[in-house]
Structure 1
């Protein structure tokens, strides 16, 4: 049986290291501080007995657990990312442990009156009686995805200490810069050498995902012309006003705060403007590829219509695809999802198979030739001060990794 204290200690050790990535830095990795955790993990993997431990020049850590079978089975992999989101500070993370949670409000920071309440975050009610790890209200926690890293390392250590559990060769990889969309960009699939893998990067216990958004970014640049406002008639072009008109031409209800499930959206996440120039930064998301393409077309059409209206090429749009729905690549090999689902059930967990309203390294890896569904890591409220994780969920995720390794060995015997 998995022990709670070593997993908690490992997790807290990892989250205290600041690994926030930077979306504005084209270098790889985007922040040098990610190397601190990467180097520590490489040494730790060697210490627990992993083989072929390699930390490459791009901050990817790969390692192997050799097979202990006398027959051949597929090589499977497990992947997690070491960086944390730039959406909220990952510096000076101060985890708070709340044993035997009683279902009441959790005061994260009394001085700042920051409270994690089940009246707002209803998911807390599922974990009464469990041990909850939270932030102190001033940073994110980093369970996304240091919980996944913790679970993979802990599962490998458990298998090494329990050679009676039979398994084939297992490959693991920890990636940088997932939170800024680059986690799989320099991932060497051939070097990894797995037949398939699982990202341990989902949220609440039970999640199993093999669908995700198709994703693109859209940068809208609007040029204006400034003259003295007292003499502006027929001369001034206010780019802020045109930006407002552009925004109003998009569907008002197709935004993140009004969509769920398979519904796509346009998300304006940054606006910077003056009379002479305004820039709008959008992300475009949809699970359905045809609808995704229509969303991109709509952005371009609005720009064309406004350019025609004002008689100048004032608006320039740059759209870049980011990742695609991995369902296309997973469906032909659905047995890899079936194996994970069966193990989750065997561990007494109700599987929650659903589409990711976001992306994961697994989506890009699947299109690079490594089919890679996503399994829960156990956390909630990622990317903010209200992030938390039940310790029992981390324990179960670790057991699922061990269980998948064992099931692959059993199911492929004699094949």
Structure 2
């Protein structure tokens, strides 16, 4: 396991935080640091056709060692980290033989990772955990996935007696800001199907995700001296809060689960003259998703009609943009690829946890680009924050799943 730990730490200590305000790909120049390292590492372990394009998308091939044809399978992960929490100066802590108690992440700042709050910790008693030091995220999302794919390929190269068809590796930038599949060359990848190694808890196997849209709202106001403002001032900040209050109060992330969709205010800034709000809309059901988009526009229309006489023009500008769709409609016609991953887990004594993703994944975009791509666990927990951790044993199991999928595919299509 030390080999896995060393590789993972070598990745997470490289800052690859994505920048949502950038128009370049990758969105941050520092993502090249890990991308270039990965290219050299893939070559060093013996993969073939290792390429990196001008936008830092990486592809590589492990040729088949069979004397008959089987489908070509891909494994995909992203190497950027979220801008939600800093990924600079990551200082991982290794907790061996976890005893089930509190883990002091940062004594000075009294930051504690506790099973009294994060109950999943108790699943990993006796295992080796990698945590943060309480000041940064860890980056297991998705450098755990990257670690697992590289290590699985290395193992197969060193153990040629394990039979497999052609396997492809793909690593992407900017997944955390919704751009991970923007320039992924599916045709060049040349796979019949693929798996993203980007899930959380051990056993997760997902082929459903949210339909997603982003909403930008601009509220306009009129600034007048407050002593003489009666009937004249329009405070755009108050307009924004009134608008938000019109959204269903229980349909927010903190009050929903499973297949339940939501509206989520992710950013608000403003002054009397102008306030900008960003929302995201999420729903697994396409019809409900469309209704949610219509609702935010309907509320904006009502505001504009109400204030038209006083303001003279639209007081709210709204832009609704689809981000990704539920990959279920693309994966269901080829459900054997999910069944294959489920069988692999069962043969490794891993209990499959098949459930919808309450989020998105490169696999969703890739599925709609012609590459069906379910999502498999990478092992991490509490992504995007200082309480993030990953059990090393879960990473080893993910590696085993990749290898087993390759083996099962070779067996299934044996003539």
Secondary structure class of the residue paired with 2:196: strand
Alpha-carbon shift at residue 244 of structure 1 (Å): 1.4
Corresponding residue for 1:169? 166
Alpha-carbon shift at residue 290 of structure 1 (Å): 0.5
Bigger Cα displacement from structure 2, 183-192 vs 312-321: 312-321
Runs of 4+ residues deviating >4 angstroms: none
Q: Which of 197, 207, 216 is the matching residue for 2:204?
A: 207
1:76 paired with 2:77, answer no
Per-residue displacement from partner, 1:277-333 (whole Å, max 9, x unpaired)? 011100110000000000010000000011111124100100110000000000000
Q: For residues 96-111 of structure 1, what are the structure 2 equivalents within 5 Å?
A: 96-111=93-108
Q: Which of 260, 276, 281 is the matching residue for 1:279?
A: 276
Q: Which of 136, 139, 149 is the matching residue for 1:139?
A: 136
Secondary structure class of the residue paired with 2:29: coil
Per-residue displacement from partner, 1:160-203 (whole Å, max 9, x unpaired)? 00000000000000000000000000000000000000000000
Alpha-carbon shift at residue 238 of structure 1 (Å): 1.1
Corresponding residue for 1:329? 330
Corresponding residue for 1:343? 344
Alpha-carbon shift at residue 254 of structure 1 (Å): 0.6
Bigger Cα displacement from structure 2, 229-238 vs 165-174: 229-238
Aligned partners of 1:37 and 1:241: how far apart in 2?
Answer: 45
1:67 paired with 2:68, answer no
Aligned partners of 1:122 and 1:114: how far apart in 2?
Answer: 17
Q: Which of 3, 7, 12 is the matching residue for 1:10?
A: 7
Aligned partners of 2:240 and 2:8: how far apart in 1?
Answer: 45
1:36 paired with 2:28, answer no
Q: For residues 6-405 of structure 1, what are the structure 2 equivalents within 5 Å?
A: 6-311=3-308, 312-405=313-406
Aligned partners of 2:230 and 2:110: how far apart in 1?
Answer: 51
Per-residue displacement from partner, 1:49-99 (whole Å, max 9, x unpaired)? 000000111101100000000000000000000000100000000000000
Alpha-carbon shift at residue 237 of structure 1 (Å): 1.1
Length, aligned pairs only: 411
Aligned partners of 2:86 and 2:275: how far apart in 1?
Answer: 27
Aligned partners of 1:21 and 1:307: how far apart in 2?
Answer: 36
Alpha-carbon shift at residue 250 of structure 1 (Å): 0.4
TM-score using structure 2 length: 0.99
Alpha-carbon shift at residue 234 of structure 1 (Å): 1.6
Per-residue displacement from partner, 1:322-365 (whole Å, max 9, x unpaired)? 00000000000000000000001111110000000000000000
Aligned partners of 1:160 and 1:238: how far apart in 2?
Answer: 65
Aligned partners of 1:121 and 1:204: how far apart in 2?
Answer: 13
Aligned partners of 1:193 and 1:306: how far apart in 2?
Answer: 50
Superposition RMSD in Å: 0.5
Secondary structure class of the residue paired with 1:381: coil
Alpha-carbon shift at residue 368 of structure 1 (Å): 0.1
Aligned partners of 1:74 and 1:286: how far apart in 2?
Answer: 33
Aligned partners of 1:67 and 1:196: how far apart in 2?
Answer: 16
Alpha-carbon shift at residue 42 of structure 1 (Å): 0.4
Gaps of 5+ in 1: none
Per-residue displacement from partner, 1:9-33 (whole Å, max 9, x unpaired)? 1001100000000011111100000
Aligned partners of 2:364 and 2:188: how far apart in 1?
Answer: 18
